[in-house]
């Protein structure tokens, strides 16, 4: 498995060391797992977006949509 060198603030590295110790793993494994989770989340999102965008548009209502002026009529609120 290839190595990766990262640069981070001391506070971030301290958090990573503590988190890795709590998980009984190394900082390298913790970072690798976090990157994998991010990659999988992004992949699922992109897949869902492609499915959604691949659908044909459909009308939400059979009734005619209200005119803009009707939607923004505020005399009833006064």
Q: 77 falls in which pLDDT band (50, 70, 90)?
A: low
Whole-model pTM: value is 0.65
pLDDT per position as a tens digit, 22-59: 999 999 999 999 999 999 999 999 999 999 999 998 88
Task: Give which of 34, 15, 35, 17 is closest to 25, Cα–Cα.
Answer: 17
CA atoms within 13 A on the CB side of 9: 3
Residue 61, SS3 per DSSP: coil
Domain boundaries, the chain: 1-56
DSSP-based helix, strand, coil % in the chain, nearest 5: 60, 0, 40
């Amino acid at each position: 498995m290839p190595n990766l060198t990262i640069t981070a603030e001391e506070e971030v590295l301290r958090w990573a060391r503590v988190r890795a110790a709590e998980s009984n793993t190394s900082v390298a494994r913790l970072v690798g797992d976090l990157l994998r989770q991010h990659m999988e989340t992004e992949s699922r999102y992109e897949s869902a977006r492609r499915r959604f965008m691949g659908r044909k548009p459909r009308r939400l209502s059979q009734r005619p949509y209200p005119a803009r002026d009707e939607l923004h009529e505020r005399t009833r609120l006064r």
